[in-house]
Every structure is written in structure tokens, then in C-alpha cells.
């Protein structure tokens, strides 16, 4: 699993978050995707690292702009995610 964090410009409200989330879900297989218009951030948890250009194109086609892209390994934590 990997966690991809995007800085997205142009999100102004919860509906904008929904548009970005839908664009991400349409472009790739995700386990979880969340966006925050207040922070200007979208976080994606997925089985494999997404193709950056495909992801950027999908989000930018909806009218938002991806400013940064980072991917790091993700390990679930919590009660049932313990080692």
C-alpha cells in the first residue's frame, strides 16, 4: 500500500473536494481518497503507486491544478493494524 499526497489549487468548498475525489476514483483504483479544501490537500491510499501524469491529467481536467505530488509507503496503524 502507498499513500500519495497532492497539493491541489482551486478547491473552495466541500463540493470541490467531491469533484477531485471523483476524478481520482475515475483515474485509478483506490482504497481511500480524502480531500480538504481548507488545507488544499488530497490524500490517496492505494494498492500501488499511481502514475503521476495520469492522476494530474484527471484532476486538471476538472479545473483544478496539482501543485505537488509525493508518494510514501503506507502501513495501517491502529487496533487491528498492529504488528
Note the pLDDT of residue 76.
77
Per residue in 5-62, pLDDT (tens digit) is 999 999 999 999 999 999 999 999 999 999 999 999 999 999 999 999 999 999 999 9
**DSSP 8-state secondary structure symbol assigned to residue 39:** T
Reported confidence tier of residue 77, pLDDT bands at 50, 70, 90: confident
| CA gap 79, 59 in Å, rounded | 34
| CA gap 32, 71 in Å, rounded | 14
Note the pLDDT of residue 75.
83
Q: Above 60 in pLDDT, residue 83? A: no
CATH code of the domain occupying 2-73:
3.30.70.100
Q: How many CA atoms lie within 13 A of 53 on its CB side?
A: 0
Q: Return the domain boundaries, the chain.
A: 2-73
| CA gap 45, 50 in Å, rounded | 10
**DSSP 8-state secondary structure symbol assigned to residue 51:** P
Amino acid at each position: 500500500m502507498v499513500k500519495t499526497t497532492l497539493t491541489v489549487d482551486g478547491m473552495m468548498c466541500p463540493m470541490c473536494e467531491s469533484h477531485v475525489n471523483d476524478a481520482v476514483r475515475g483515474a485509478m483504483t483506490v482504497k481511500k481518497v480524502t480531500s480538504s479544501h481548507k488545507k488544499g490537500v488530497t490524500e490517496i491510499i492505494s494498492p500501488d503507486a499511481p502514475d503521476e501524469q495520469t492522476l494530474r491529467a484527471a484532476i486538471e481536467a476538472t479545473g483544478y491544478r496539482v501543485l505537488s505530488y509525493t508518494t510514501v509507503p503506507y502501513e495501517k496503524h491502529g487496533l487491528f493494524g498492529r504488528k
